[in-house]
């Protein structure tokens, strides 16, 4: 009996111990939850008092940023899309067997005046024997006349007989920064009009060598914006816009041997062409008459140059791509191959202020003073800019 009594006491003691442990765990959990609530309610003040650092997980903030970016892309697309058009080409020709065939092509453009002026790429409307049709975002189509093709850049202006058209808002491409979001809108693959793609400005002031095609010759395009926004065949001539819905570039070329590398003509380069077509009915460009490469630190080191800025006058790799065009303003001023153009009327030529952008500030007939380095000697020459034919 005494042994049984001891066993009962041991059992009660064990149960009591277990009960105490369970109660302690429950109280601890409640205290922990309360502590969490207090931390949230008092923005970490309680945690600081007891020496605990509170941790903030920025889930809500991240979601907010993503939503804001998405809304900006949507807004930019909605703003520009009504002004984006498809440019359709149709050419009738005969093959070697005398059969009559028809060739179709497609590109993109955008409206720059409410009475029907449209800008696109020159290579989209390069043929003078081809008929062109413009299809608006609402599906209406118009016969288009090529008013002018830029003699220097890959630009052209079309005219359609229409009124009260929606017009794009032109931005300032000089203010674009590498890493800034942009949106491309165009007639992708010639089939999907007003296709929207998004990306960033990957680089600025790129020089691009284009490939010759059956309808256009190879040429060098300077000071281009590089973007990873998808640009497909058919997008040529379409707008590249910032998140404010302003056109900052004209989609022009892609790197065929890479992915996510496209190029656009800065809209500031096109602005003078737009003003010229409005005032004179054609695109008039002043030109100097040199082929050049922008001097960088690497180029200076590789070629043992005395300057890490400027534009070195150098011939191209193609046949007939001379350094100085014969009888051009540069030729008349005595500029020769390997001269380095350092300044234009006191403005330094560098990666941010290219020779092309400086020359395009002037008009045909303007006289400008160039500071150059020729055979190691600095000198100034005066040049009268002429119209590029």
Active site residues: 123, 154, 236
- 27 — phi, psi (to 5°)? -65, -40
Tokens of 352: 């941010």
* Residues 322, 325: Cα–Cα separation, whole Å: 6
305, 299 in Cβ contact below 8 A? yes
Residue (of 93, 95, 76, 92) closest to 84 by Cα position: 76
Angle, vertex CA 224, rays to CA 255 and CA 183, nearest 5: 75
Q: What phi-psi label fits residue 26: left (phi over 0), alpha (psi between -120 and 50 degrees) or beta?
A: alpha
Which residues, other chains included, contact 250 with Cβ-Cβ below 8 Å and sequence gap of 6+? 119, 120, 121, 155, 237, 238, 239, 240, 264, 265, 267, 270
Residue (of 247, 132, 142) closest to 184 by Cα position: 247
* Residues 134, 110: Cα–Cα separation, whole Å: 10
144, 133 in Cβ contact below 8 A? yes
Quick one: how far is CA 302 from the chain centroid?
30
Residue (of 236, 285, 225, 248) closest to 80 by Cα position: 248
Characterize 175-199 residue by residue with b for buried, 16 or more Cβ atoms within 10 angstroms of its Cβ, and e for exposed.
ebeeeebbbbbbbbebeebbbbbbb
Q: What is the DSSP letter of 188?
A: E
* Residues 166, 163: Cα–Cα separation, whole Å: 9
The alpha carbon dihedral of 192, 177, 296, 372 has a sign of positive
Q: What phi-psi label fits residue 136: left (phi over 0), alpha (psi between -120 and 50 degrees) or beta?
A: beta
């Amino acid at each position: 009996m005494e042994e049984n009594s001891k066993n009962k006491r041991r059992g009660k003691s064990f149960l009591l111990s277990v009960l105490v442990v369970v109660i302690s765990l429950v109280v601890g959990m409640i205290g922990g939850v309360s502590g969490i609530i207090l931390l949230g309610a008092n923005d970490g003040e309680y945690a600081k008092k007891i020496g605990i650092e509170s941790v903030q997980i920025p889930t809500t903030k991240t979601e907010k940023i993503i939503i804001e970016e998405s809304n900006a892309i949507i807004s930019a697309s909605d703003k520009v899309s009504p002004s984006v058009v498809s440019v359709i080409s149709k050419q009738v020709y005969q093959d070697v067997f005398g059969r009559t065939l028809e060739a179709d092509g497609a590109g993109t453009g955008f409206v720059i005046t409410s009475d029907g002026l449209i800008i696109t790429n020159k290579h989209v409307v390069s043929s003078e024997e081809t008929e062109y049709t413009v299809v608006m975002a609402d599906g209406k189509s118009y016969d288009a006349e090529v008013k002018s093709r830029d003699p220097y850049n890959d630009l052209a202006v079309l005219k359609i007989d229409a009124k009260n058209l929606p017009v794009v808002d032109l931005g300032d491409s000089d203010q674009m920064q590498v890493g800034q979001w942009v949106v491309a809108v165009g007639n992708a693959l010639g089939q999907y009009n007003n296709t929207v793609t998004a990306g960033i400005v990957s680089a600025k002031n790129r020089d691009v060598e284009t490939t010759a095609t059956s309808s256009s010759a190879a040429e060098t395009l300077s000071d281009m914006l590089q973007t990873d926004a998808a640009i497909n065949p058919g997008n040529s001539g379409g707008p590249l816009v910032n998140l404010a819905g302003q056109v900052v570039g004209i989609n022009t070329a892609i790197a065929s041997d890479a992915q996510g590398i496209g190029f656009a003509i800065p809209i500031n380069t096109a602005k003078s062409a737009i003003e010229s077509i409005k005032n004179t009915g054609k695109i008039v460009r002043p030109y100097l008459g040199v082929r050049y490469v922008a001097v960088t630190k690497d180029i200076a080191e590789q070629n043992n140059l005395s300057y890490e800025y400027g534009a070195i006058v150098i011939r191209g790799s193609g046949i007939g791509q001379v350094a100085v065009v014969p009888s051009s303003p540069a030729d008349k001023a005595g500029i020769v191959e390997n001269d380095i153009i350092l300044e234009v009327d006191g403005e330094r030529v560098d990666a941010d202020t290219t020779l092309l952008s400086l020359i395009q500030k002037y008009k045909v007939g303007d006289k400008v003073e160039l500071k150059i380095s020729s055979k190691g000697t600095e000198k100034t020459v005066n040049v009268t800019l002429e119209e590029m034919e």
